[in-house]
A and B are shown apart, each in its own frame.
Chain A
Amino acid sequence: MNFIKMKGSSIITILVAVLIAGVLLIPLRSKLITVGMFMGLVNACFNLVQMMSWQLSYVMQQLANNNEYLKDLSAFSMLEEAEGANDLPAGDIGRDSLDSIEFRDVRFKYPGTVRYVLDGCSFRLDRSKHYAFVGINGAGKTTITKLLTGLYPDFEGEILINGRSIKEYSQSRLKALFSVVYQDFAKYYITLRDNIFLGNINGVDDKRIAEAIEEIDLSETLARLEKGLDTPLGKILEGGTDISGGEWQRVAIARTLVSNAPLHILDEPTAALDPVAESKVYELFGRISKGRMTVFITHRLGAAKLADEILVLKDGKIAEVGSHDDLMARGGIYAEMFEAQRSWYA
């Protein structure tokens, strides 16, 4: 229907052009204007016709389009910004700078939803111990890591780090405190060196990277890469090489290896691994995390057993806390879940 509008305006122009040509006939006949001038004017008028139909409507449409784009742009720039979200992690936080983490009656729901994922969640984590969070799907395990790392600041209750509210910490200090291996960890298609370097962006030397590769069993992979550490992974950069899913996962864990962060968090990293590979990851992580606070999030209870303390989440609250033996003796949710899994192997 655009065409009708467009052609409507050019048809009006034709009428006007015919009219002008008609009127100009009078001075032409009385020789007030020359034939040349008459022809020039008439041509100019008819030239307008084509211009009116295509160019004018094109320009109008562009104008309307760009106006809409501008609206989107201003809506985007009006979005609230999280201060310091893009800062580097603070460089001066060492491995010993974390004494305790405490959740006091924390409640949280995701924006736009009504259900509280965490509903009065309280617990305390102390330095140098290994913790496991277990619980059924949707109990709020992953949400805890998201709050802890400052991704969602809008919670109720209190989260204390070393006895001070998390809200007093700058983004840059929070980043320096945690090193997380997510279930859906990022595969950065950059060089292997840079992939590991990102784990400690304030500076890792090649020696440390080489050690990490050794520790994490990536030496064979490295030997296969054409340009060694400088080989881009994935197929985005020229000369890039694909590596397997298991190798990607080890690269992600290598990032936490070079990190100085006092707390390591592993968020269900083994769901897609076969049992032999899974047990390798657990052993590896146990080895590299000695002397650091670690948090393991899993519903494979076999792995949780390795932790010093197990926190069982149910309906957004901590339902049980204790060592594997304590919890088994108590005969609560954990014991029931563990029995369910063990019965398969009995």
Chain B
Amino acid sequence: MNTAETREHKPNVIKVFLRMLPTAFKAEPLLFTLTQLVSIAHGLSWGITTLVTQRFFDMAERMVRGMADLTAVILSLLMLGLIHFFNQVLNGVGNFLPQVYGEKAMGRIQRGINEKMARISPVCFEDTQLLDDINKANEGKTHAVFFVALVSFIFTFYIPYFLFMGWYLFSLKPILALSIVIVFIPAMTSQVLRSKVYAGLEDKAAPIRRRFEYYENCIAGREYFKETRLLGAFSFFMRLYRESLELLNKERWKATFKTGMYELLMKLLALAGYLLILFMLFEALMSQEISTGAFAAVFASLGALFDIMEEVVCRHAGNIAQNLGTIQNYLNFLEIPERGGSDTDVDPDCDIRLVDVSFSYPGAETAAVKNASFTIKKGETIAIVGENGSGKTTIVRLITGLYLPDKGYVFHGNKKTSDISFKNLFKNISGVFQKYQKYQLTLGDNISISDTGLKPEEEYLDRVSAMSGLDPKDEAFVNGYDTMLSREFDGVDISGGQWQRVAIARGFYRPHNIIVLDEPTAAIDPLEEKRIYERFARIAKDKTAIIVTHRLGSVRLADRIIVMDKGEVVDIGTHEELIDRCGKYSEMWKAQAKYYV
């Protein structure tokens, strides 16, 4: 982390609080206000308990001296019971309300984050930095709610309590008000020390812990165990696992020991403070400046005073300081620029024109697509071929408008993709992608999810399934379209090839004028692959279709083939033309065809 960044990340408690407060309030205005009111009452009730205890003890003492009768004492005892009762009720409600509020507010904030994500340009998601930012924002969200709650509790609970206690002690004898300071000092020192020791521990332990967890995964993780077992590598990883565990424990023990010692020191300091206050009370009692009852009441509430001080200084202030950074992350996330565009209608039957388009992924040094210019006529079937990493998938994303070019323009009809909102841009586009989603839903839902507006009709589902080579009557689908495709939800596991067909059916299901097939058949056997492409060619006749593949056999059904190499479009033409004049294409062709001659 460089210094500029560090400075930027040094957030200010008050600033963050003021920025978060309206959000937190608006999320649940009524609950929020109620919580704060209860909190004030709760804070005061602790102080008043001390006051009433004093009254009761004073009464009891007077009764002993014959200055008060029994009924008055019992009355003040009932008063004491009542105030304890209220204190407990407020304590319960005061702890319950923030939880309810927290859940609700968090839901609201989460929704805000998700909506924000939908508005961010998809290309940002290629940047791992953004993925980190999203994670951090989510983490920040949790903390943000508690942060606001905690900071406001300082104002509505702790400050009223300490003010009341301060006033009460002051009214007994001015010097006694110093107790508040005496209680504060050990709590503060221990907090400062603790945060330093723990932070150091985490710095040292984090890489060791990551290693330790990774080795565990190598032994028993789902993606590893098959191979680890067959290689007989168990003892190898076990050794590494043990070593890192020992190292981790050593570090942990060192830190725990250190913390323990500091803690002991702090407790001694607190004890000294306790004794000091006691001494002051004793002095005041002896010189008859305060009553016995007052002495006993303050004495009794000293424990609570220390506890509450430790709670606010050590737990809450620590939390606030620790989480401030993550909340700042959340706030930063909300400021990421969004993808704009207006809701203009796009003519569904239009040519797609690329004019000198270049594009680089965020953080990448070389351009993924360089100076690409071509036109896809409406209704045309275009194949894009090239080696791994030649920019095939990127150019498809530029064509569909998912990504916007850094340089040049992509036109759908006469409109630039940068001027069209997502909603309208994708209205008539469907696609089947290499990395399709396996939703843990039923077969029918997995297909019809591509167009949630349409109510799935069995007949229509049958049609798209047939196009995709998917047979819902196959014995793998025990309940037809209602088969749950997930072992986790008591359904079935289907093979990779079956999944791929489901994904293809999903692409066909969505009404479209333009369809993209991005290497959808890698896991499908050749007979079926051929059939899918043939059916596809038939139904794509009057629709614009873009096929991305490195299996050249399947590209011959395209009207034209775009050959890509290292981000550049090296040639465009029919199969026959390209075999004759394009070196790259014929090289790829020969590499594959030689197995079949």
- Spell out A's residues near B (CB within 8 Å): 3-4, 6-7, 10-11, 14-15, 17-18, 21-22, 25, 28-29, 31, 35-36, 38-40, 42-43, 46-47, 49-50, 53, 85-89, 112-113, 115, 135-138, 149, 151, 172, 175-176, 178, 180, 182, 184-186, 188-190, 194, 198-199, 201, 236-238, 246, 255, 271-279, 299-303, 305, 336-338, 340-346
Contacts of A273 in B (CB 8 A): 388
- Distance from A144 Cβ to chain B, minimum over Cβ atoms (Å): 15
Q: Which residues of A contact B14 (CB under 8 A)?
A: none
Measured between beta carbons, the chain A residues less than 8 angstroms from B96 are 3
Partner of B592, one of A10, A14, A151, A302: A302
Name the prevailing secondary structure of the B interface residues.
helix
Q: A4 to B224, Cβ gap below 8 A?
A: no
Q: Select one of A11, A28, A43, A255 contacting B88, CB under 8 A.
A: A11
* B233 partner, pick from A18, A138, A198, A237, beta carbons under 8 A: A198
Residues of B within 8 A of A87 (CB): 232, 234
- A interface: dominant SS: helix
Q: Are B553 and A4 in contact (CB under 8 A)?
A: no
14 of the cross-chain contacts (CB-CB < 8 Å) are: A7-B91, A14-B84, A17-B84, A22-B77, A113-B492, A136-B497, A151-B230, A190-B240, A275-B592, A300-B526, A300-B595, A302-B595, A336-B527, A345-B592
Collect the chain A residues with CB atoms within 8 Å of residue B594's CB: 279, 302
Question: What is the CA–CA distance of A201 and B528 in the complex, to the nearest angstrom?
Answer: 41
| CB contact list, B480-533 vs A, under 8 A | 487, 492, 495-498, 522-530
For residue B208, give the distance in angstroms from its CB to the closest CB of chain A. 10
Which residues of B are at the interface with A, using a C-beta cutoff of 8 A?
53, 56-57, 60-61, 63-64, 70, 73-74, 77-78, 80-81, 84-85, 88-89, 91-93, 95-96, 207, 210-211, 214, 218, 223-224, 226-236, 238, 240, 292-293, 296, 299-300, 303-304, 386-388, 475-476, 487, 492, 495-498, 522-530, 550-554, 556, 587-589, 591-597
* A180 pairs with B229, CB closer than 8 A: no
- Provided the pairs A338-B596, A340-B530 are in contact, do residues A138 and B231 lie with their beta carbons within 8 angstroms? no
A255 near B231: Cβ-Cβ < 8 Å: yes
Contacts of A15 in B (CB 8 A): 81
A115 nearest in chain B by CB position: B475
A10 to chain B, nearest CB (A): 5
With A and B bound together, what is the CA distance between A50 and B303 in angstroms? Answer: 12
Which residues does chain A contribute within 8 Å of B214, judged by CB atoms?
Answer: 189, 236
Q: How near does chain B come to A21, taking the closest CB pair, in angstroms?
A: 5
In the complex, what distance in Å separates the CA atom of A22 from the CA atom of B56? 11
Give the residue of B91, B498, B588 whose beta carbon is less than 8 angstroms from that of A53: B91
CB distance from A319 to the nearest CB of B (A): 13
Collect the chain B residues with CB atoms within 8 Å of residue A201's CB. 231-233, 235-236
A275 to B492, CA, bound (A): 34
> Judging by beta carbons under 8 Å apart, are A136 and B77 in contact?
no
Query: Whole-angstrom distance from the CB of B473 to the nearest CB of chain A?
Result: 14
Nearest Cβ in chain B — how far from A85, in angstroms? 6
CB distance from A83 to the nearest CB of B (A): 13
**B92 near A345: Cβ-Cβ < 8 Å:** no
Given contacts A86-B234, A274-B588, A345-B593, 8 further A-B contacts (CB under 8 A): A3-B93, A3-B96, A22-B77, A28-B60, A39-B296, A137-B523, A198-B231, A271-B523
A146 to B386, CA, bound (A): 35
- Chain B residues lying within 8 Å of A149, measured Cβ to Cβ, are 230
Partner of A35, one of B64, B85, B304, B554: B64
Contact A138/B387 with A341-B526, A344-B552 known, Cβ cut-off 8 Å: no
Task: Chain A residues near B223: list those with CB within 8 A.
Answer: 184, 186
Determine whether the beta carbon of A138 is less than 8 Å from that of B300: no
| Complex-state Cα separation, A137 to B384, whole angstroms | 26
Contacts of B230 in A (CB 8 A): 149, 151, 175, 178, 180
Nearest residue, chain B, Cβ from A86: B234
Q: Which residue of A lies closest to B66 (CB)?
A: A29
Assembly CA distance A78 to B597 (angstroms): 57
Instruction: With both chains docked as a complex, state the minimum distance between the C-beta of B566 and any C-beta of chain A, in angstroms.
Output: 13
How far apart sit A85 and B232, CA to CA, in the bound complex (Å)?
8
Q: Which of chain A's residues has its CB closest to B97's CB?
A: A3
- The one of A22, A189, A276, A277 that contacts B74, using a Cβ cutoff of 8 Å: A22
Indicate if the CB atoms of A345 and B553 lie closer than 8 Å: yes
| Given contact pairs A137-B497, A336-B527, A25 touches B73 in the complex (Cβ within 8 A) | yes
CA distance A112 to B84 in the complex (A): 59
Q: How far is the CA of A272 from the CA of B277 in the complex (A)?
A: 75
* Contacting pair A274 B63 (CB below 8 A): no
Asked if residues B235 and A88 are in contact (CB atoms below 8 Å), the reply is yes
Whether B84 pairs with A46 at a CB distance below 8 angstroms is: yes
Residue numbers in B under 8 Å from A136 (CB-CB): 497, 525, 527-528
With CB as the reference atom, state the residue of chain B lying closest to A345.
B593
Which listed residue (B92, B300, B523, B588) contacts A46, Cβ 8 A? B300
Nearest Cβ distance between residue B221 and chain A, in whole angstroms?
9
Determine whether the beta carbon of A185 is less than 8 Å from that of B591: no
Interface contact A39-B57, CB-CB below 8 Å:
yes
Partner of A49, one of B53, B84, B552: B84
Pick the contact of B388: A4, A39, A255, A277 (CB < 8 A).
Answer: A277
- The residue that A344 contacts in the complex, of B78, B224, B554, with Cβ under 8 A, is B554
Would A135 and B476 be within 8 Å (CB), given that A18-B78, A279-B591, A302-B595 are in contact?
no
State how many angstroms separate the Cβ of B95 from the closest Cβ of chain A. 6
By a CB distance below 8 angstroms, the chain B residues around A337 are: 525-527
Q: Is the CB of B292 within 8 A of A86?
A: no
Judge whether B526 and A340 touch: CB under 8 Å: yes
A28 pairs with B63, CB closer than 8 A:
yes
CB neighbours of B591 from chain A (8 A): 275-276, 278-279
* B496 partner residues in chain A, CB cutoff 8 A: 137
The CA of A49 and the CA of B45, in the complex, are separated in Å by: 14
Residues of B within 8 A of A279 (CB): 591-592, 594-595
For B78, what are the chain A residues with a Cβ–Cβ distance below 8 Å?
A: 18
Contacts of B74 in A (CB 8 A): 22, 25
* CB closest residue in chain A, given B596: A342
Question: CA A238 – CA B218 in complex, angstroms?
Answer: 17
* Set B85, B475, B554: member contacting A11, Cβ < 8 A: B85
A149 to chain B, nearest CB (A): 5
Chain A positions within 8 Å of B299 at CB level: 43
Provide the residues of chain B in CB contact with A89, threshold 8 Å.
231-232
Chain A hits for B224, CB < 8 A: 186, 188
